[in-house]
Structure formats: C-alpha cells, structure tokens
C-alpha cells in the first residue's frame, strides 16, 4: 500500500516537472518548483498512513463501545435476551454435537467407509442375523474378489489371573490377524497381529499365543507400564504373550473389550452349516459397493458344494443362506440416526420459540429507539451505518448467548453420557470441538443479522411523526386478520413440542410399568467364572457358592443363572426342527424364587428341591403353549437340536438324552420390555448334569438383599474367594441398573424432549405475558380515553384478554395440526401410545391454553390499574 502511494506521488511529481519544462523552466528548477507545489512528501505519506490504518478499526471500536454502553443501560432487556437465546442455542447445539460425532463423522478406522460387516439369514433353518460358519469364512476368503481382506472374530469371557491377586473375569475377543489389518489402527505400544504370529497353530497349547490389551485395561492392571510388552500373562489357564497395547478410545467390537487373543478358525474341522458362530468384517475393494459384494457372495455360494462334508447340494438348498453386507458404520449406528434427528427437530422447535421470543423483545426496544434512529438519519447517517450499529449491538447479545449456549451444551452432554451410555453408540467420541463451536457461532451471526436489520424497519409509522412528536391516538399493530402473529407462532411451536414430549414420556411410563416377569427390587448381580479345569465340579462349586452367600447377613435369597433377563449373550438352540431357536438358561435351584418369578405348574425347583426325574428341565409358559397348546407340558420331553435339526451327539457317549419337562415357569420378558414373553428352556445345574455337552463356566449370581444391594458386593466377592479361590469375579451391578439400561433410549429421548418442552412452555407463557403487557403500554392513551368516556375497567380488561386469547387459540389450532403431521416421526419409538393419541393432544393443549390465559389475565390486570391522568398524558 505504501509502495502504491510512493508510485503515485512520483508519477505526480514527474508529470508536474514535465509541465514546467514545457513552460520553459530548466529541468532542475522545474523539479524544485513541482516539489514546492506539492508540499512535504513525508507529511503527506504520514497523513495517508494514519487514515489508512485506523479508520475501519476505529469505526468498529466506536460502534462496539457504543453498543456495550447502550446494552448495559438496558440491562433487563439484555439479560433476558441472552438467557432466552442461550437456552435455544444450547439445546440445539447439544443435539448437533451428538449428530456430528455419532452420525456424520466417519468411524475412527483407516478408510472406515470401506469396512463392512457380513451376516447371514438362513430361513431354511429359521436363523436370522447370524454370522459366518468356519466353512463359509474360508470359502469367501478364497473366492470373494469383492474384498481385499476378510476377518473373523468372536466375543467371549475368560479369567485373568494376575500374580498375587485374585482372579478376574475379563471381556475378550478371539480374532484373526486380518481383523486388525482391516481396521488399520496403529497400536499405542508394541504392534498388532500379523499372519505369521499364528504359525505354531492354535490346537497346540504349548506356546504363548499373542494378545493385545485395551488401553484402559493396561492402565488399570499394569499401571501404564511399558515393560508389559513381551510379558506372559495368564488368561483362562494358558500363558499369553502381550505384544501390544491399543490406543485410548479404541474399542472393537465393543467399547469395553479388554483383551484381544489371536485365533484363526481351524481349517481341518471347518463345516459349512453346523454353527454360525463367527462374526466377520471385511474391507471392500475400491470401487465395489456393499450391494455388489453381497450379490457376489450369493453367486459363489453354490461353489462350496463338495468342499466340506456337510456341504452337500441338498443341504445348501435346504439352508437357503442369504448373505448380507452392511457398512460397519450403518451396523454400528442402527436406528440412532432416526432418534437423534427426532430430538434435533424438537430442539429446532425450541430454538424457533426462543428466536420469536427474543424478536418480540427486540421489537419493543426498536419501538423505543425509533426517535434516536430518526435523529441519526436526519443528521446524515446512511442506512448502512445504522444497520451496522444495530447488527453490532445485536451481535454482542447473540455471541454472548452462543457462548453461554455452548456452556449449557457441555453440561447437557456430560449428563447424557453419564446417564444414558447404552442409548448412544460411539459415546466415547462425543466432545465439543471446532464444528460444534462454529455451529453455535453461525447461529449467533445469523440471529444478529436478523435482529439488527429488522430494527431499522419502521415498526409503525415513518420517522416524521416521531420527530414532530406526533401522538397516535389509536394504535395500529401489525396483525394478521386481527391476531397477533407472535403469540400465535410461539403457542403453535410450544404445543407441537409439548405433544411430542408427552408422547415419549407416556411411552417411558408404559415401559416402566411393563410386567417383566420378575422383580428387580434390591437385587444384586455378580458375574462369576470358573476355570475350565474345574468344569467337572461346576455344579458343586456353584451350589457351594450360592449356599455360602445365603448365609450372609442382609441376604434374603440367592441363586445363579447363565444369563439374566435384559442382558445380551444368551445362546440359542432349536428345540423343534424348522422352528426358530430358543434360549437355554442354566440355573442354580432357587433362581426363580430369588427373582420372584412364579412357577405356574409343576416343580418349583427351590433351594432345597429334590427331584427324582432324570434330566429334568423347566420351560417358560410361552414355550409350553407353543409345544403343547392343548395339554399340560408336564412330563413331556424336549430336546436340544443342532442347527441342521440333528440330535446333539456327544461323540462316543452317543446322543444327549431328551429332557423331561417337570415344571412351567411364569412368562418372563428375557430380551426387551417391548418384546413378547420369551420361549425358553431352563436347565437346572444339578448332578448328574442334565445337559452334559455344555458346561456353563460363566454364570451370574443374583442376590435379593434386605439392605441396599451394592453394600453387599464386597462380602459376596469374599464368599466366592472362600468357597474356591479359582473363581473369578466380573461385573457387579444392581438389577435396577440393568433394567434401566433396557429403557435407556426412551429415557434419553423422553428426557431431552421434556426439558425442551418445559422451557418452551415457560418461554411461551412469558412471551404471552410480555406481548399483552406491551400491548397495554402502547395502547395506554387509547385505554385512558375509553375509561374517561365511561368504559368500565373490566370491559377494558376483557377487550385486551380477548385479543390475546384469540391469538392463543389460533396458535393452538395451528400447533395441533403441525403436531398431527410431525408426530408420525416418533412412531417407531413409541410404545403403548399412538402418535395421534387424542387424550394427549387434548390434555396438553388444554394445559398450554390455560397457562397462556393466566398470563394474559395477569398482564391485562395491569391495564385495569391504568391511572387516567397518566394515560391521557402519555406520549
């Protein structure tokens, strides 16, 4: 810039010199004259520089200072606007953060978009959403060109035995080396698996199979010591070598996976369709879509015929395998996108209400400033300057509101993560970062421009009447067909939000009241495992453990089962060929009594039960109804079958004998409160073993307590140690917590929408109060005249309230229509209530109208107190 000026000045001087030369002066004198005519060059340059630097900044600084002063003078207005807007911005920013971090951002893996999940449905054997069999895994790996890599893994639980401390149950994942290749995440320490690590073979138990630790596990059990690399640790009963630690925040397939153990499926004993027990992920070749991969898998399926003993043409035709290829992100997100967008919609409504509310406040202020603005315009300020001043003033308020909104969002997010972790996948990735701050900032800017520019539009008459001190005797108000649009809009928005939230709250209550089939009150649960070496004595160990716990003070009853209701991870097997498999639950006698689940018929299998029937089992009433609809199921038999419908064999010992049903258990919803009662087989853990081919080495102990459940956690653990030190303890939680997390999603949505609805009702009613109060203020002269002319005060009040109520009712009508159309979006989340439930609509509508009416009356009551003299004199 300075250079340009110098060029200009030099050019100027050169031209002037030329002219003097033309006029006859000698060149040197010509130059001197030109310089003299010009004046001091350095002075000019300085003056230029001064103006150049300071002007724009100086203006901005002045406007800012002026704005701050003006806003400080109207502290009431400023604080209310900031609070209102920060509520609106905070709410929507919270949900935007969730959307951005969970739905928009790619998964934290290399090229995460190309990672897919493989599953199958096999309608021929009534299986849905299962993984791969070992045979399929090898077949696909060899022949499916759509993938550059395929990996298999399976979840399990085992025991970690640290030196000098008691055994602990840990969540492990057996995984092929290709899984880590596909995920492409670099370890925090050491290295991940390579294919060569499996060279000695997995049927060979003499070597230490390599394992990887999760970051949390490494910190909590090895104090973050890097020396853990290369060390052997004992998992299960086998030594494992630690070759790496994964970075913080990495959790595959679950956030709480603690140890990964290398394990390749055995090729020698692979089968086509006996057990579909492997979960699989793959990396798509560039340019291949999941759909293309899926159809390739379907096409190459028949080629598996003959490769495995059970891969006959007949069997392939019978099973009717249908592969599914889903992007990993789609599988992880499930329906959370829909849930989050719904809540986002709710928060958008809240923002709209806050926006309108603040706009009304700004309008009132603009009214009061009209005189000042007219004076400025008369003094020559261009419209752009005035707009800039107003926008800067509004911006001070909106950016403060945006900052407060971010603080609010942070608090809300912390609460959401703490109280509803099960509702949200990728919860560990949630944080307020650049995009979220930019979102809030953008809202602030848009709002500032909106309010600033609206402030310059003359609200009623032009500027002239203000300067002339004109008095308007009959106030005109911007109305649409006689109805105040600000009130109507706010009521409509608030009603829509309230109805949505009421539906979710009702859903949550319905789920809360749902009979699950057991009582979760004061129930402590403790996961335990016994080592494989003690499998033969498992019945005695569990009996002894439960008996020992029953002796503890404060214990009402105790028992154990292989899994609890509403917890995942049950194993399912078919009991009838061609029907869907049912869960099998192992239980220690006394389980149903501890859970307070009634026995409908037959043997209750209490703690002191002595059953003489061979292979006794219990079945749920639901299963009994299906298997034996017309007669009692007691005394009938039921068998566990393989996936292919064949009877389970135990090698040389022959087939497993059929079970005899000795009792029918009251219905329990084992899977989810929304589901029907579960068809399930209950196998008592007694001697001789009823189901000898499965040993439940992992069980969960349940204890009904007279005191707060968690207070007995320590003594229960101690009992386990005393009974058998090789028992390892896993997670401890109350049944209440487990049941709570089954409702986590509904709780999450219901809570957020309810918060938004409460704020919207507050804003809406305060908005009505404010609008009516403002109306009274503006029409004070008119009211004064009416009173003077003999109108009764009550009539004046009625007139004011009637106007407001008209707007409220119109708003309620519009809001109801909007709710009818938009609550359809909630349908998939609702339970026990329809999206257009008339009771909800009417109750909520009546509540809102009543609240608005009270506010209008309160404001209008002030109208009745208008002092005649003041009214007539008001200007």
Partner 1 sequence: MPGKGDVLYGSLGLMVMKTLEALGPLHGYRIARRIEQISGDHLALNQGTLYPALLKLEQAGWISSNWTDSETGRRVKVYALTRAGRKQLRAEETAWQHATGVVARFFKIQQDPS
Q: Which residues bind partner 1 (CB under 8 A)?
A: 4-5, 7-9, 11-12, 14-16, 37-41, 43-44, 47-48, 50-52, 55-56, 380
d(CA 487, CA 466): 27
Q: Residue 82 in contact with residue 90, Cβ under 8 Å?
A: no
Bridge partners of 175, per DSSP, are 153, 262
Minimum Å distance from CB 457 to partner 1? Answer: 21
Which residue, 382 or 470, has its beta carbon nearer to partner 1?
382
Which residue, 40 or 302, has its beta carbon nearer to partner 1?
40
Identify the residue whose tokens are 């002595």. 610
Minimum Å distance from CB 250 to partner 1? Answer: 56
CB atoms within 10 A of CB 425: 17
| C-alpha separations of 337 from 94, 507, 554, 584, 763 in Å | 15, 19, 45, 33, 29
Which residue, 56 or 568, has its beta carbon nearer to partner 1?
56
* Cα dihedral sign, 527-533-539-543: negative
Show contacts of 431-440: CB within 8 Å, 24+ apart: 431/97, 431/101, 432/97, 432/406, 435/100, 436/93, 436/96, 436/97, 436/100, 436/406, 436/409, 437/406, 439/93, 439/96, 439/100, 440/89, 440/93, 440/402, 440/403, 440/405, 440/406, 440/409
Which residue, 54 or 104, has its beta carbon nearer to partner 1?
54
d(CA 518, CA 290): 43
- Helix ranges (H only) for 301-432 are 313-319, 328-333, 336-378, 383-419
Which residue, 40 or 162, has its beta carbon nearer to partner 1?
40
Minimum Å distance from CB 383 to partner 1? Answer: 11
- Helix ranges (H only) for 420-535 are 434-454, 463-467, 485-513
Minimum Å distance from CB 382 to partner 1? Answer: 8
Minimum Å distance from CB 393 to partner 1? Answer: 22
Which residue, 11 or 632, has its beta carbon nearer to partner 1?
11
Minimum Å distance from CB 19 to partner 1? Answer: 8
φ, ψ for residue 93, nearest 5 deg: -65, -35
Which residue, 27 or 145, has its beta carbon nearer to partner 1?
27
Minimum Å distance from CB 28 to partner 1? Answer: 19
Identify the DSSP state of 743.
T
Which residue, 14 or 303, has its beta carbon nearer to partner 1?
14
Minimum Å distance from CB 463 to partner 1? Answer: 16
Bridge-based pairing state of the strands 599-602 and 659-665: antiparallel
Minimum Å distance from CB 61 to partner 1? Answer: 15
Which residue, 47 or 375, has its beta carbon nearer to partner 1?
47
Reference 603, options 627, 562, 633, 559; nearest CA is 633
- The CB-side HSE value for 202 (13 A sphere, CA atoms) comes to 18
Minimum Å distance from CB 45 to partner 1? Answer: 9
| C-alpha separations of 592 from 583, 606, 666, 672 in Å | 16, 8, 9, 19
Which residue, 164 or 380, has its beta carbon nearer to partner 1?
380
Both structure tokens of 717: 């653990």
Minimum Å distance from CB 25 to partner 1? Answer: 16
Reference 296, options 127, 142, 153; nearest CA is 142
Bridge-based pairing state of the strands 259-262 and 168-175: parallel
Which residue, 17 or 705, has its beta carbon nearer to partner 1?
17
């Amino acid at each position: 810039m300075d250079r340009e000026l110098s060029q200009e000045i030099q050019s100027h001087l050169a031209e002037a010199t030329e002219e003097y030369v033309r006029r006859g002066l000698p060149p040197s004198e010509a130059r001197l004259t030109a310089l003299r005519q010009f004046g001091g060059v350095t002075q000019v340059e300085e003056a230029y520089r001064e103006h150049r630097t300071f002007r724009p900044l100086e203006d901005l600084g002045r406007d800012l200072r002026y704005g701050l002063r003006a806003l400080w003078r109207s502290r009431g207005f400023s604080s209310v606007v900031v609070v209102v807007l920060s509520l609106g911005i905070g709410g929507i920013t919270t949900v935007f953060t969730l959307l951005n971090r969970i739905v928009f951002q790619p998964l934290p893996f290399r090229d995460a978009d190309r990672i897919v999940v493989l599953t199958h449905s096999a309608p021929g054997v009534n299986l849905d959403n299962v993984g791969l069999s070992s045979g399929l895994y090898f077949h696909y790996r060899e022949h499916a060109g759509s993938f550059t890599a395929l990996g298999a893994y399976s979840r399990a639980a085992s025991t970690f035995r640290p030196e000098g401390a008691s055994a602990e149950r840990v969540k492990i994942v057996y995984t092929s080396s290709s899984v880590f290749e596909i995920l492409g995440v670099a370890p925090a320490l050491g290295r991940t698996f390579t294919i060569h690590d499996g060279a000695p073979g997995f049927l060979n138990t003499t070597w230490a199979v390599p394992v990887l630790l999760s970051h949390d596990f490494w910190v909590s059990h090895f104090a973050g010591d890097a020396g853990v690399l290369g060390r052997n640790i004992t998992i299960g009963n086998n030594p494992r070598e630690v070759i790496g630690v994964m970075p913080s925040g990495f959790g595959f397939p679950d956030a709480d996976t603690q140890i990964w153990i290398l394990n390749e499926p055995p090729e020698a004993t692979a089968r086509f369709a006996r057990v579909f027990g492997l979960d699989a992920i793959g990396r798509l070749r560039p340019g291949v879509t999941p759909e293309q991969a899926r159809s390739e898998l379907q096409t190459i399926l028949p080629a598996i015929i003959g490769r495995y003993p059970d891969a006959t043409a007949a069997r392939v035709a019978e099973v009717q395998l249908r592969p599914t290829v889903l992007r990993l992100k789609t599988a992880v997100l499930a329906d959370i996108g829909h849930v989050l967008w719904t809540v986002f919609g709710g928060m958008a409504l809240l923002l709209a209400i806050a926006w309108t509310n603040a706009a009304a406040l700004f309008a009132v202020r603009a009214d009061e400033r009209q005189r000042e603005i007219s004076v400025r315009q008369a003094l020559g300020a261009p419209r752009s300057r005035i707009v800039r001043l107003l926008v800067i003033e509004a911006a001070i308020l909106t950016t403060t509101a945006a900052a407060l909104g971010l603080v609010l969002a942070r608090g809300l997010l912390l609460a959401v993560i703490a109280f509803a972790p099960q509702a949200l996948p990728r919860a560990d990735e949630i944080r307020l970062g650049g995009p979220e701050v930019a979102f809030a900032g953008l809202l602030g800017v848009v709002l500032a421009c909106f309010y600033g520019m609206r402030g310059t539009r003359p609200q009623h008459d032009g500027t002239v009447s203000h300067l002339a001190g004109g008095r308007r005797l009959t106030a005109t108000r911007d109305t649409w067909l006689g109805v105040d649009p600000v009130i109507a809009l706010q009521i409509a928005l608030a009603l829509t939000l309230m109805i949505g939230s009421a539906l979710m709250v009702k859903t949550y209550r319905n789920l809360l009241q749902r009979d699950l089939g057991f009582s979760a009150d004061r129930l402590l649960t403790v996961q335990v495992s016994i080592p494989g070496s003690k499998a033969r004595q498992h019945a005695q160990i569990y009996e002894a453990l439960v008996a020992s716990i029953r002796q503890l003070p404060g214990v009402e009853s105790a028992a154990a089962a292989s899994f609890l209701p509403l917890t995942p991870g049950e194993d399912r097997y078919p009991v009838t060929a061609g029907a869907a498999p049912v869960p099998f639950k192992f239980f220690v006698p006394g389980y149903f009594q501890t859970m307070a689940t009634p026995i409908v018929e037959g043997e209750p299998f209490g703690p002191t039960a002595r059953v003489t029937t061979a292979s006794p089992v219990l079945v749920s009433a639901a299963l009994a109804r299906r298997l034996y609809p017309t007669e009692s199921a007691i005394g009938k038999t039921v068998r566990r079958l393989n996936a292919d419908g064949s009877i389970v064999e135990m090698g040389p010992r022959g087939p497993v004998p059929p079970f005899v049903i000795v009792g029918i258990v009251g219905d329990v919803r084992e899977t989810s409160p929304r589901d029907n009662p579960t068809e399930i087989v209950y196998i008592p853990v007694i001697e001789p073993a009823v189901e000898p081919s499965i040993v439940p080495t992992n069980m969960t102990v349940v204890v009904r307590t007279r005191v707060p459940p968690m207070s007995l956690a320590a003594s229960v653990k101690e009992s386990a140690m005393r009974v058998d030190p090789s028992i390892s303890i896993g997670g401890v939680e109350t049944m209440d917590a487990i049941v709570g997390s089954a409702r986590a999603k509904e709780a999450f949505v219901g809570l957020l929408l309810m918060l938004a609805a409460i704020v919207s009702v507050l804003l809406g009613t305060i908005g009505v109060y404010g609008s009516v109060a403002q109306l009274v203020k503006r029409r004070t002269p008119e009211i004064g005249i009416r009173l003077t002319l003999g109108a009764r005060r009550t009539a004046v009040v009625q007139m004011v309230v009637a106007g407001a109520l008209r707007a409220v009712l119109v708003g309620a009508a519009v809001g109801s229509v909007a709710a009818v159309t938009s609550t359809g979006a909630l349908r998939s989340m609702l339970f026990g209530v329809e999206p257009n439930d008339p009771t909800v609509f009417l109750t909520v509508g009546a509540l809102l109208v009543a609240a608005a009416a009270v506010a209008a009356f309160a404001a209008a009551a002030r109208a009745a107190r208008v002092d005649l003299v003041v009214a007539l004199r008001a200007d």
